Amino acid sequence: MSERRRSRFLGRIDWILMGLVVVISGIGILNLFSASRAAYGMPVHISQSLWFAIGSVVAVLTMLVDYKWFERWAYFAFGAVCVLLVAVLFVGTELNGSYRWLNFGFFMMQPSELLKVGVILFTARYLHDRDFSAGMSLADLVVPCGIVGASVFLVLKQPDLGTSLVILSIFGSILLYQGLRMSSLMTLAVVGLLSIPVVWNFGMHDYQRARVVSFLNLDEDTHGSSWQVRQSIIAFGSGRAWGKGHVESTQIQKGFVPEHENDFVAANWGEERGFVGMAGLLGLYFALIVWGLRIASLARDKFGALVAVGVSATIFWHVFVNVGMVTGMLPVVGLTLPFMSAGGSSLVTLMFEIGLLMNVSIRRRTLI
Amino acid sequence: MSAVKHEIGGKRFLSFVLAVAIAFSMLLGRLWYVQILHGDEYYRASTENIIRNIEVSPPRGRLLDRNSTVLAENRPSFDVVVHPHQFVEPKDADTPRPLQLLQGYLNLSKEDVERLAKSISQKQGEVLIARDVTRAQVALVETDRLRLPGVEVRANSHRQYPLEQVTAHVVGFMGEIRANELKDSEQFGYRSGDYVGRMGIERAYESILRGAPGIERQVVDARGIPQGEAETRFLIGDYQKVEPIAGRDLVTTIDARLHLIIDEAMRNYPAGGVVALDPRDGSLLAMYSKPSFNPNSWSGRLSSQEKLRSDNDPYKPMLDKTVSAYFPGSTFKIVGALATFEEGVMGADDEFKCPGYYRFGGRNFRCWKHGGHGDMTVSQALQHSCDVYFYHVAETIGIDKIAEYGYGFGFGELTGYPINDESPGRMPTKEWHRKRSPDGFKYGFALNTILGQGDTLATPLQVALAYGAVANGGDVYYPRVIDRVQTAAGDPLFVFDPKVRKTVKMDPVALEEIRKGLWLAVNGDGGTAYAHRPENIEVSGKTGTAQVHKIGRIRVANRDKELRFRDHAWFAGYAPSDEPTLVLVVFLQHGGHGGSDAAPVAMDIITRYFAGEDPLAQKIGEKHVAPTPSVAGVGERDDVSSGDIEDVNDLISSDAGMDFETDQESPSE
């Protein structure tokens, strides 16, 4: 790039977005440092830092290329992810009873993570190519819902209820942002309610049903998923207003909360920093999401806007479901907390999405 | 390409922001609820999660006889437990799985292994694999530690009874606490897996023997692994230990030497009870019941053969016969004798003629001696155990009076024996017969009653206390089994004093004549026990033959009858005749004849007791294996067949009841 274009480029970099992501990730690493004292093996905060570094590189690369390129390859990417999803059902590695991972020898990858991005790109492209300024009618919805639904079905087959639901939620958020007609909305609502018993009886596995049931009976002193949540609630609650202090979370460190590095990582933060700490963290997430929506509203075209909405929705739904789950408000569905839960594949995927967001932001309309 | 130009502040942007804000408020609300509103409550819960109370049980108190011979003690034992979190399956398929190894070493059944696997998978606390394993098994487990991760051999203690079946009923045994008992006892420190006394002194004095557990508190993590010293001190400060209260030793009045002598003397008879006491203070020297059982087996593992044998034994080994009621037979005649004097039926020298039968109600009631005894005084009537004499007394005073004098001696009511459930026996009255007898009351019943037949029932203990009253001049004592409570070091904490329950109203002349009669029975020619009188000591006493079943009108000799139809044989007496120190009652269930069966056994016991013989010392001298602490338990267990670990609790429920004779026939024609 020429000198002028580079400086213009640099000037348009969304430092606030970057700042928010870095701060939250930093908190995540700090949190894992304290939480990982209960584990054995390589300290997870170190590995998380490495993944963050890799993710940052991915984000930068994503940011450099004009996102028109992504628009062009959106359908192809979506198709490729679907192929991987089919593959994982046949040759996937089994873990805890479900087939979610593909083993490439030197690294393992979860296609369902990629579908989160895939659906965003697909939907953004699909809606971008058409004019729905009057809102989407039921007829309009059939094709996109059908295609996305089919891909989600592949995820549901693994089985992975949590990811399926979150992908559908992200999809729905994008559609809502585009705009649905009232009639469609009403119809969907009714159909949704009617399908609950069907899904309950035929679509869910026993353990999934059990989770919902135990969620509703949380007060009973049972072992299993509700015991885990109860321990998490105790961890949170014992933090009270100001928390127990850095590296002082007795519940986490003494091993009372299982999955304390993945799904239940917020419990450590809540125990050590208290309500104040949690409110602060939620504040940061809120800021990030709102900023993403702002980027959407300033995007130069519909594709960019919808991609931005998709990324914001991803973050929103993950945070909402995860924090709701670990505080006992929602059933346990195995959703990670963005930038905080340990795990390379989810972090890198997320950073890729942040890269897209950054991309859309840089190429926004300038306000005059 | 359509351009969606939403301004910042556009409607859609705002509505989305609002939606997100609402959702986050819900989260904040929930966090507020958990962390602020209920924060303190959860804080407390979090500390409780990590503090574990370990209970430390003190050793159980011992049981000692009057000469400090050990009747019950604790021996070291070993349990095998596993810590589930450390119990990992081996990585390669060739290494045998730990549970498989344990199954082989410890003789576990398939069901046991399945049950254990399930408990271990729950990953909570510790799992008990086996209790009280043999030393060989300890060696097997310990030498294979590398292949058994998380498995711990833990020292414990187990109850042991050196005298085994000889003192079984009065000492008792122990069994594992049941779920329904645990519900009530948990507040007293009982835990699942604890042992409690199930019979005898072990049960009656459970709380004194057990003491109370102490508590040691630790800070642990979710796996139950204790944390560091600093951590502990920070979280629970100085409240780390509560000292246990030791179990107390009990010194009993029982004489182990006497029990052993009795056991040998009873070798030819399959069933019965022997009571020995000191008439001067009511101390029980022996409460022996046969057949007996091995409390070491019953406190540990009972094989299914032993259980079956016990259940099917018609003589009921679990029953304490010293406090079960039977027909007392002629031993009951002292009641009639006293009534004779007190009611003025006869004087000391008055005579009554026994022609061999007694005419009453249009029938002839036979005397045991067909030819009759001729003229008899009261004391002679006792000497020869004349039935006719007492028929006369019965007719004169009536059944209610007999009952009255019976109660006077302590019959028909509980003696106050504190150890095992006792029968009160029965003194039948007119009222009782009206209610209970199929044809109501008949005057003839009095004649059976005075002979200790009919519906009269008494326990060997009651008989002993009554004869004790004769021996000491009229005091019926409370039976005394525990002499004192003391610490393990021997310092006395509490002494149980002798206590008189009631005094028999006896004219001095009456007492003298009764004593004379009892003396003559043993030492006077023609006395029913004369043939067996011992050489070196003077014994006074009374034989009794309680007829259980009469076949038609013919008196069939005992040896020709089925066992359960044979008469009971009794001897009740005291020694030495002047200034008696020992009262002895020998009851042989279906044993035959008082004079020829019970009396020799009693005399044998008395002779050897006063001669100072000590069977334990003799046995060691003869290289007879007397039960010693280190051998008894271990040897027993190795013989037990595998997989037959029974719950002894189920076995004693019905047998620990009382034995009543319900088939009766009056000794009339």
Does A133 sit within 8 Å of B2, measured CB to CB? Answer: yes
Q: Please give the helix or strand (H or E) that residue B602 lies within, else none.
A: helix B599-611
Read off the pLDDT of residues B417-431 as tens digits, 9 standing for 90 and up: 999 999 999 999 999
Interface probe, candidates A68, A166, A232, A250, chain B, greatest B C-beta count within 10 A = A250
Q: Is the Cβ of B225 closer than 8 Å to some Cβ of chain A?
A: no
For residue A175, give the 3-state DSSP assignment.
Answer: helix
pLDDT band at A254 (very low <50, low <70, confident <90, very high): low
Residue B436, pLDDT score:
87
Dihedral sign for Cα atoms in the order B347, B351, B357, B362:
negative
Beta bridge partners of residue B245, listed in sequence order: B212
Chain B nearest-CA distance from A293, in A, is 7
Of B35, B46, B227, which has the smallest distance from its Cβ to A274's Cβ?
A: B35
Check residue A367 and report its DSSP letter: P
Nearest CA of chain B to the CA of A349: how many Å?
23
Distance separating the N- and C-terminal Cα atoms of chain B: 128
Position B646 scores a pLDDT of 39
Of residues B424 and A37, more confidently modeled: B424
Beta strands in B173-328 (DSSP E): 174-176, 195-197, 214-219, 241-242, 249-252, 272-278, 283-290
For residue A297, give the nearest of B10, B43, B46 by CB distance.
Answer: B10
Residues in A touching B31 (Cβ below 8 Å):
236, 270, 275, 278-279, 282, 323, 327
List the single range of A99-108, B185-194, B348-357, B492-501 with lowest mean pLDDT.
A99-108
User: Can you tell me which residue has the tokens 């949590």?
Assistant: A162
Chain A neighbors of B42, CB-CB under 8 A: 233-234, 236-238, 240
Q: Reduced to 3 states, what is the DSSP secondary structure of residue A90?
A: helix
Cα distances (Å, whole numbers) of residue A164 to A153, A157, A170, B125, B616:
8, 9, 10, 37, 82
Section A28-51 average pLDDT: 77
AA identity, residue B607: T
CA nearest to A364 within chain B: B5
Residue type present at position B192: S
Question: Residue length, chain B?
Answer: 669
Q: Which of B552, B584, B548, B554 is nearest to B569 (CA)?
A: B548
Residues of A in contact with B226 (CB under 8 A): none
DSSP reduced 3-state for B210: helix
- Calculate Rg over the CA atoms of chain A: 21
For B294-326, the pLDDT digits (tens) are: 998 888 767 777 778 888 888 889 999 999 999
| Residue of B1, B17, B42 to mutate, testing the A interface (most A Cβ within 10 Å of its Cβ) | B42
Q: What chain A residue is nearest to B23 in terms of C-alpha separation?
A: A320
Cβ of B227 within 8 Å of Cβ of A289? The answer is no
Q: Which one of B12, B24, B42 has the shortest CB-CB distance to A234?
A: B42
Residue B402 to residue B340: CA distance in whole angstroms: 10
Amino acid letter, residue B77? S
Pairs of residues, one from chain A and one from chain B, whose beta carbons lie less than 8 Å apart: 138
When CB atoms are compared, the residue of A239, A297, A302 closest to B2 is A302
Residue carrying structure tokens 């079905």: A153
pTM across the whole model:
0.63
Nearest neighbour of B42 by CB, restricted to A131, A179, A238? A238
With cut-offs at 50, 70 and 90, classify the pLDDT of residue B653: very low
- CA–CA separation, A333 vs A156, rounded Å? 13
Other CB atoms within 10 Å distance of the CB of residue A8: 12
Answer yes or no: is pLDDT of B149 > 90: no
The whole-number pLDDT of residue B123 equals: 64
Which value, to the nearest 10 degrees, does the dihedral of the CA atoms of residues B442, B446, B447, B451 take? 140
Residues B365, B391 contacting (CB under 8 angstroms): yes
Which of A103, A78, A81, A114 is CA-nearest to residue A352? A114
**Which of B13, B16, B43 is opposite residue A237, by nearest beta carbon?**
B43
| B34 → closest Cβ in A305, A316, A327 | A327
Looking at the DSSP bridge assignments, the partners of residue B158 are B75
Q: Which of B48-62, B241-255, B411-425 has the highest mean pLDDT?
A: B411-425
Cβ of residue B191 closer than 8 Å to a chain A Cβ: no
Closest partner CB to A128 (pick from B1, B27, B36) = B1
Yes or no, beta carbons of A256 and B222 under 8 Å apart: yes
Which one of B328-332, B453-457, B589-593 scores highest in mean pLDDT? Answer: B328-332
Closest-CA residue of chain B to A290: B17
How far does the CA of residue A200 sit from the closest CA of chain B (Å)?
25
- Is the peptide bond prior to B576 cis by the omega test (within 30 degrees of 0)? yes
Tell me which chain B residues have a C-beta less than 8 angstroms from the C-beta of A238.
39, 42-43, 45-46
The tokens for A140 are 């309009």
Calculate mean pLDDT across residues B275-294.
95
Q: How many residues does chain A have?
A: 368
Provide the mean pLDDT of chain B. 82
Residue A35, pLDDT > 60, answer yes
Question: How far, in Å, CA of A220 to CA of A214, rounded?
Answer: 9
Q: For A241-297, give the DSSP string.
A: TT-S-TT--HHHHTT-STTTTTTTHHHHHHHHHHHHHHHHHHHHHHHHHHHHHHHHH
Q: For position A285, what pLDDT does the model report? A: 96
Cα A53 to Cα A58: distance, rounded to the nearest angstrom: 9
Q: Is the peptide bond before B580 cis (omega within 30 degrees of 0)?
A: no
Which residues, including other chains, have CB under 8 Å from residue A64's CB and lie 6 or more apart? none
Q: Could you give the ipTM of this predicted complex?
A: 0.88
- The residues near B430 (Cβ < 8 Å, ≥ 6 apart) are B398, B399, B400, B441
Q: Tell whether B223 lies on the interface with A, counting CB pairs under 8 A.
A: yes
Nearest chain A CA: its distance from B28 CA (Å): 7
The residue ranking higher by pLDDT, B337 or B245, is B337
Angle, CA A266 vertex, CA A261 and CA A267 arms, to 5°: 90
Residue B304 and residue B441 in contact, taking contact as beta carbons nearer than 8 Å: no
Which long-range contacts does A67-72 make (Cβ < 8 Å, 24+ apart)?
A67/A303, A67/A304, A67/A307, A67/A356, A67/A359, A67/A360, A67/A363, A70/A121, A70/A307, A70/A356, A70/A359, A71/A124, A71/A125, A71/A128, A71/A303
Per residue in B3-19, is it b (16+ CB within 10 Å) or e — as a string?
ebebeeeeebbeebbee
pLDDT at A129 exceeding the cut of 70: yes
CA angle B460, B298, B415 (to 5 degrees): 25
Average pLDDT over residues A252-265: 71
Which has the closest alpha carbon to B72: B87, B62, B82, B61?
A: B62
Average pLDDT over residues B19-43: 90
In angstroms, how far apart are the furthest CA atoms of chain A?
A: 67
CB contact under 8 A, A328 and B12: no
Q: What is the pLDDT of residue B659?
A: 37
Closest CA to B348 of B473, B520, B513, B508: B513
pLDDT tens digits, one per residue of A273-313: 989 999 999 999 999 999 999 999 888 888 899 999 999 99
CB atoms B4 and A238 under 8 Å: no
| More confident position, B644 or B231 | B231
Q: Using one digit for the tens of pLDDT, what is the confidence trace for A161-178?
A: 888 889 999 998 998 888
Of the pLDDT bands very low, low, confident and very high (cuts 50, 70, 90), residue B473 is very high
Is the C-alpha dihedral spanning A127, A132, A137, A139 positive or negative?
Answer: negative
Question: Percent of chain B, pLDDT > 90?
Answer: 46
Token duo for residue A270:
């809540």
What was the pLDDT predicted at B180? 87
The span from the CA of A276 to the CA of B32, in Å, is 10
Q: Within 13 A of B457's CA, how many CA atoms are on the CB side?
A: 21
Select, from the ranges A24-28, B154-158, B464-468, the one with the highest average predicted confidence (pLDDT): B464-468
